[in-house]
Structure 1
């Protein structure tokens, strides 16, 4: 099968499209013909070597955490799916024509949803939801600030927070404020404008998708006893503060992914797709995605 292989750490020239052995399905696993895979920040951060310390991996490897496609084979013990089912899933090695993953990694794609566009959902939908439901866990009426609220993970976190009955502040760049108002939140703050951050009311929690100086600049706005949830690791500036810090990694959840897919199909949850590229144009696709400020970028077969 054709796949995108990361040969060494570096820029996009470290990526190569080549023939690789097709993965074989085992007990409790599902094999999928990939229609599309999406590009996520973790992909180019791995490519650059940003995670060599905490996520060492053997190279060469196939990147890609989420896919959508058609089931072509199921392993022994699998009865949730059958060949021909349209599915999306949180996987490893999604930049390929075929992928195999445990059955719990997949969820059925609603009939009304474009199969390729469904590839934009799994990683960001589960990450944003788990950030809110497992790390922040707000009560109804709590005030939550979401950094990077216009990013794909941030949009899902907004969706999940509103579903909990929380009051939501969207933290974005100054140039994004008008777009952030469309999220239907209780307030919008430009996190790159010091005066705006200073006027931000105290919050019960921060859901952080950005990290770095951005989250460090809002820690003083978290009430004592409040919570910081993060998908980019614990900020060192949070140490010693009277708040609870929970950093999470996303994990497969077939049931929740099914629900999120249904919400997306109804238009309640919107993850914009910016552009589709064929698998052979992975270098151009990653360059565009890495620039930021766009919707999801997909690789298609």
Structure 2
């Protein structure tokens, strides 16, 4: 049985992805579930995070968002039975690659997959949906009537945030990074119910990010928004061409309303004293979105499983409609992962 693994190079070398043979133990542990993988989602590896939490390995398994069928259960498993369809995210210290034909995983990392939901859709969207739940529910405590600004709403993560927020009665603004993405966001409609646009205002920033603050001020009557969710920010004025589409950190703070909440994905965010002063004057708060926090700690395992179950149910009923990912065959997984790791934001789904 073969799986895809990452061989991390030196600090200045790019990681290499290799196919390695793996084997499963003859005896299944008490709480373990043996799953035949049907689809696996590929996302960028955060090698620095793995090093920070003490996961040191020569070969790091690749592909952790999995959907499949239960083959066998351990003697103490109470939630699952053979032939049930399941979906879940492998823990950070799992020795198995999701691209193996079969894997062993603790039952507390899995939930049942609804019959209407395809394995490819579940594996491809689970990570982004989990991030959206963490940002909006856990950090921002969103409620009906709030206003939300989602940066780059056409991304897979941004789209999940928009749909989840609209479902809960939140008024959504978003930014677009190209004319094509702008048209896509303008045409977003719910799959059921009243066919009003999901986004109240799409703000184009591909001509320059300077349009963001005036647009938000106009749309909110000068009050600002209750929640801002970014996919990264600019820390300095002079940065790369790709970073120019990102909002400047001061602009993000400026669009926040009194008592607002900023959820950021920027790992190395640095705030200057004037920025902190502005946050203080608005009595606003800041949270860091670490998408691995649920699998890195078992402190809130019950809440984590509740979120996963709600995600798959909402995807099966059409409340959450991820952008369709074209599944790639297993023999293209290595090339696909190299591309993902290079761009850091693209995703892929492998159908086994």
Q: Which interval holds the TM-score relative to the shorter structure?
A: 0.7 to 0.9
For 2:40 and 2:314, the matched residues in 1 are separated by: 20
Could you state the TM-score of these two structures normalised by the residue count of structure 1?
Answer: 0.86
1:18 is matched with 20
**Radius of gyration: which is bigger?**
2
For 1:98 and 1:172, the matched residues in 2 are separated by: 40
Q: Are 1:197 and 2:202 an aligned pair?
A: no
Residues 254-273 of structure 1 mapped to structure 2, 5 A cutoff = 254-273=305-324
1:162 is matched with 166
Q: Structure 1 residues 81 and 223 mapped into 2: Cα distance closer, same or farther (>3 Å)? A: same
For 1:231 and 1:96, the matched residues in 2 are separated by: 30
1:7 is matched with 7
For 2:268 and 2:161, the matched residues in 1 are separated by: 18
2:239 is matched with none
Please give the secondary structure, in 2, of the residue aligned with 1:197: helix
For 1:293 and 1:8, the matched residues in 2 are separated by: 16
2:228 is matched with 206
Aligned 8 A contact 2:149 2:225 in 1: yes
Aligned 8 A contact 2:37 2:103 in 1: yes
Residues 1-301 of structure 1 mapped to structure 2, 5 A cutoff = 1-9=1-9, 10-11=13-14, 14-22=16-24, 25-41=28-44, 43=45, 46=46, 49=47, 51=49, 54=52, 57-58=55-56, 59-92=58-91, 93-175=97-179, 176-183=181-188, 184-192=198-206, 193-199=208-214, 200-201=216-217, 202-212=224-234, 214-215=246-247, 216=249, 217-233=251-267, 235-237=269-271, 239-240=276-277, 241-242=279-280, 243-250=284-291, 251=294, 253-289=304-340, 296-301=347-352
For 2:344 and 2:290, the matched residues in 1 are separated by: 23
For 1:294 and 1:127, the matched residues in 2 are separated by: 14
* Structure 1, gaps ≥5 residues long: none
Q: Structure 1 residues 265 and 209 mapped into 2: Cα distance closer, same or farther (>3 Å)? A: same
Residues 186-224 of structure 1: CA distance to partner in whole angstroms, max 9, x if unpaired?
111124423421322221111223344524242221124
Please give the secondary structure, in 2, of the residue aligned with 1:236: coil
Please give the secondary structure, in 1, of the residue aligned with 2:327: strand
Count of residue pairs brought into register by the alignment = 295
Aligned 8 A contact 1:211 1:233 in 2: no
Structure 1 residue 118: deviation in Å? Answer: 2.0
Residues 210-240 of structure 1: CA distance to partner in whole angstroms, max 9, x if unpaired?
3445242422211242111134437323645
Structure 1 residue 109: deviation in Å? Answer: 1.6
Q: Structure 1 residues 293 and 247 mapped into 2: Cα distance closer, same or farther (>3 Å)? A: closer
Structure 1 residue 120: deviation in Å? Answer: 1.2
Aligned 8 A contact 1:272 1:295 in 2: no
For 1:197 and 1:17, the matched residues in 2 are separated by: 45
Please give the secondary structure, in 2, of the residue aligned with 1:178: helix
Aligned 8 A contact 1:136 1:229 in 2: yes
For 1:219 and 1:65, the matched residues in 2 are separated by: 34
